[in-house]
Structure 1
Amino acid sequence: MLIIRRTTAVTLTIARLPIPCTITRSLRVSKLKMETRSSMSMSMSTSNSTGGSGKSGPIVREFVSVEGGSDARGQTDAIRFRLVSYNILAQEVDEFDSFYKKSMEDLGYSSIYIQRSGQKRDGCGIFYKKNCAELLLEETIDYNDLVPLVHGETFLSSDKQNAPLASGNKGDDPKQDLSEKFSELSVKGSPEHRGDPNDPRVRLKRDCVGVMAAFKLKHPFHHVVILANTHLYWDPEWADVKLAQAKYLLARLSQFKTRVTDRFERTPSVILCGDFNSTPGDKVYQYLISGNSSSTSSDRSLEELPLPLCSLYASTSGEPPFTNCTPDFTDTLDYVFFSPSDRLKPVSILQLPELDSPDVAGALPNYSHPSDHLPIGAEFEISKD
């Protein structure tokens, strides 16, 4: 979930939602904080709070300035905002309404949420504060919508797999607008217990979702930001399904940006975050940053993408060594992507632990990290036109 807040404090203090240790299912969570440049002060240390009892508390990592970030802009009326993406653990479907939603409302946040379809008990959402951002438009993404867009058993040839999926169609029904693009889909066979995995209608029905929302920043000037949050399918053996979801995601996000631009006569900045269940350099990652799902060099230009994106960490300090840490798997799966522009610049990133850091010893979750995923995030600055 994405959380928007304007504050004059140095740092945003929102307690990590208390989560039982026995939980097994994930809930995509992110948070976004906004503030004016004049109120900004950066802390670059890693703190280990003790509290009143003297007992060592969880390690809390801070935002650290990227190269040139401390003096990125000279304007005092620029907007700086922080975005932190979480994949936390949740246990039951009613926890969102009975616990998370109410807890955040008590802190002054409104919310947008989509639960996964079928029997799944988690979802994706956005939390925001109305006093710093006005919700203009929202849309949800259900990747099961790919199923009726597949016709017959004709598969794409390999040279078509990397083709962009949308070019900003302005139709009223974005799913219908994309039907022709997804009328043929390349899928591979793999064992599963939900039906014939060679049937695209079975293979694509993964019950994964996403959410998009356009917000108008209120002060010191009005600017529109599109925030999107998603959770792609997990299985590493089903890379073709994840790639189809990534293509559908960018196609829908591109159309959403076009709708927002046309309706509000403003060109929005775009930030996309989530658990993409894909490591740096694989097909999904390559498609999101280049429009080509091949790990080899591409002759396709950035302009051919439905929506050009940059990876936050790759463009500043390099992708982290890991964002997911379990006894059986440790690697980078979570990302923040943003639309490159002269107005939107990352100025700091959230520190992440190294593999030998004590707070990740023995894998996650633990006392410092109540999820097997680490929070990632950045501070962005938007300048006035």
Structure 2
Amino acid sequence: MQRWQSRTGVQPSLLMCGDFNSTPNSPLHQLITSGQLNYKGIAAKQVSGQESHGGVYRELPPILLPQCLFINGNCTYASEKKAINAINYELSHCLGVIKSSNEPHTLEEATTMQNNGATVDYIFYSENNRPEGANVSQRIVNLELQGCLSHISAKDIGKIGGIPNVYHSSDHMPVVAQFRVTVK
């Protein structure tokens, strides 16, 4: 994706869906949506925002991934080991502004009943993929959120006996959004 972006000057629209095991105010959610994270002094169990699970307090090391993977601080493949050593508590990505389909998130909503209810499932997307100075003659594919299914509250999930149950076999509620794709 990075090679295509550097060749065309256009940032592709992005859609990421799934169980990120990360609450809306967590450092991981911040990295995804803002593109940057300074994790110096953050405990490993705080990354997801679900730190109430107990366990040992262990601060994150300066370099998170094994160096043999050659992933640098920009969350991309690095061909040189020195680029990996330069991470030092900073992570970023070049994917542009990424939003969650259910923003703003509220404390009452839940997609799972872990910790008495939490939102950990998301549809992340990038809406505008034309960076300033991009070649205007290029065909651009744009992704636009049209609507989404509201999240249910943890209280309402509790009223039906929690999840999973006879009517809903998963321990996660569905996350649904509708997008429009346009080509300009």
* Class of the TM-score when normalised by the shorter of the 2 chains: 0.5 to 0.7
Unaligned runs of 5+ in 2: 40-91, 130-141
Render the CA deviation track for 1:36-73: whole Å, top value 9, x for unaligned: xxxxxxxxxxxxxxxxxxxxxxxxxxxxxxxxxxxxxx
Q: 1:375 to 1:383 in 2, by over 3 A?
A: same
Q: Distance in 1 between matches of 2:151 and 2:176?
A: 10
Q: 1:323 & 1:375 partners in 2: Cα distance? A: 7
1:266, CA displacement in angstroms? Answer: 7.7
1:266 to 1:279, Cα distance in 2 relative to 1, 3 A: closer
**Equivalences, count:** 117
Bigger Rg, structure 1 or 2: 1
State the distance in 1 between where 2:9 and 2:33 align: 27
Q: Do 2:30 and 2:37's aligned partners in 1 also have CA atoms closer than 8 Å?
A: yes
Q: CA deviation at 1:332?
A: 0.9
* Cα distance in 2, alignment partners of residues 265 and 291 from structure 1: 19
Once the two structures are TM-superposed, the CA of residue 259 in structure 1 deviates from its matched residue by: 4.5
**Pairing 1:278–2:22 present:** yes
Larger RCO, structure (CA 8 Å, separation 6 or more): 2
SS of residue in 2 equivalent to 1:331: coil
| Counterpart residue identity of residue 125, structure 2 | F
* Cα offset, 1:292, TM superposition: 3.2
Letter in 2 for 1:333: V
2-structure distance, mates of 1:339, 1:332: 20
Taking a change above 3 Å as real, the CA distance of residues 325 and 265 of structure 1, as seen in their structure-2 partners, is same
> 3-state DSSP class of the match of 1:356?
helix
| 1:367 correspondence with 2:163 | no
Give, in angstroms, the shift of residue 258 of structure 1. Answer: 2.7
Structure-2 residue corresponding to 1:347: 146
State the distance in 2 between where 1:357 and 1:374 align.
12
Change (3 A) 1:358 1:278: closer
AA partner of residue 25 (structure 2): G
Shift of 1:325: 1.3
| Aligned CA distance change for structure 1 residues 360 and 376 (closer, same or farther; 3 Å) | farther
Q: CA RMSD in A?
A: 3.1
Q: Residue 117 of structure 2 contacts residue 154 of structure 2 at CA under 8 Å; is this kept in 1?
A: no
**How big is the shift at 1:270?**
0.9
Describe the superposition over 1:336-384 as per-residue Cα deviations: whole angstroms up to 9, x where unpaired: 1111317211011023322333686321101332111111021001122
Confirm or deny that 1:319 pairs with 2:118: no
Kindly indicate whether the alpha-carbon contact (under 8 Å) linking 1:353 and 1:360 is maintained by their aligned counterparts in 2: no
Q: What amino acid is the match of 2:120?
A: L
Aligned pairs for 1:1-385 (under 5 A) are 257-259=1-3, 268-293=12-37, 305-308=93-96, 309-314=98-103, 318-319=104-105, 321-326=109-114, 328-341=115-128, 343-357=142-156, 361-385=160-184
Alignment partners' CA distance in 2, 1:358 and 1:286: 27
The percentage of aligned residue pairs carrying the same residue is: 30
Unaligned runs of 5+ in 1: 1-256, 296-303
One-letter identity of the residue aligned with 1:281: N
Asked if the contact 1:282–1:293 (Cα under 8 Å) also holds between the matched residues in 2, the reply is no
- Amino acid corresponding to residue 310 of structure 1 in structure 2: K
Query: TM-score, normalised on structure 2?
Result: 0.53
SS in 2 for 1:272: strand
1:324 shift after superposition: 0.8
Give yes or no for contact 2:18–2:123 (8 Å, CA) kept in 1: yes
Give the aligned residue type for 1:332.
T
Report the residue type matching 1:372 in the other structure. Answer: D
CA contact (8 A) 1:323 1:375 kept: yes
Q: Is the 8 A contact 2:111 2:152 kept in 1?
A: no
Say whether the 8 Å CA contact 2:118–2:154 is kept in structure 1.
Answer: no
